[in-house]
Amino acid sequence: MNGTISADELKQLAGRRGEAQWVDVRSASEYAAGHVPGAINIPMEQIEARLGDLRPDGPIVLICQSGVRARLTAALLEPRRTDVTVLDGGTSAWVSAGFPVVVNAATRWALERQVRLVAGLLVVMGVVLALTVNPHWLYLSGFVGLGLAFAGLTNICAMASLLCKMPWNRSRRLRPATPSAQGQTCSLRNVSSAGGDSETIVP
């Protein structure tokens, strides 16, 4: 297998999934929001550090949202693997074809996304306050920019550490499973291109 594969062709391989390993290279939050059934999650930025998670004895199908990141990931793997295929159109093409995706309805925002949101709001607030209240507020925007640059250089992010302590990022207490819920593992949402969806629990 090499090059690209269409959503219809990939669907036909579903019954023979043991022949290929399907890898979703999007972020964990994107993956949880809806992914092709059977695909494992290895974000693009982790692929080179997690080569051991890729099966050495079979081809690999890379999946992202539209196909762009999957192609970039395939280029990263090219020196090591020649049996890599990209889902043309990504998860969007899969959904447009009317095929189901696995959805975790209780997904929280990824920490990286939270950092981007808070940093952006602080920069905008600093600029607005500098223009309307006091020019010294511009230092807030500069401080945030300096912090992001430091985080990029050292991989140490004080804002991420602070956000980790927020209530919405703490581990949820699991409730005991009821008899009716035992054996239920996930849900399959069949999303149509018209915008309707149906959800069934898969044991």
- Give CA separation, 16 vs 11, 25, 53, 87, 135, in Å: 10, 21, 20, 16, 64
Is the per-residue pLDDT at 89 higher than 80? yes
CATH of 3-103, one of 3.40.630.30, 3.30.420.40, 1.10.3720.10, 3.40.250.10: 3.40.250.10
User: Closest Cα partner for 139 from 131, 130, 148?
Assistant: 130
Lowest mean pLDDT among 11-15, 116-120, 135-139: 11-15
Give me the pLDDT at residue 160, please.
86
Q: H helices within the chain, ranges in order?
A: 7-12, 28-33, 68-77, 90-96, 111-132, 138-154, 158-164
Give me the pLDDT at residue 182, please.
39
**Domain spans of the chain?**
3-103, 111-165
What pTM, to 2 d.p., does this model score?
0.59
pLDDT band at residue 155 under the 50/70/90 scheme: confident
Q: What is the mean pLDDT of residues 50-68?
A: 92
Mean residue pLDDT across the chain: 81
d(CA 136, CA 113): 28
d(CA 169, CA 39): 25
Catalytic residues: 64
Q: What is the mean pLDDT of residues 157-166?
A: 87
Is the per-residue pLDDT at 195 higher than 50? no
Percent of the chain with pLDDT over 90: 52
Give me the pLDDT at residue 106, please.
59
Is the per-residue pLDDT at 141 higher than 60? yes
Is the per-residue pLDDT at 5 higher than 70? yes
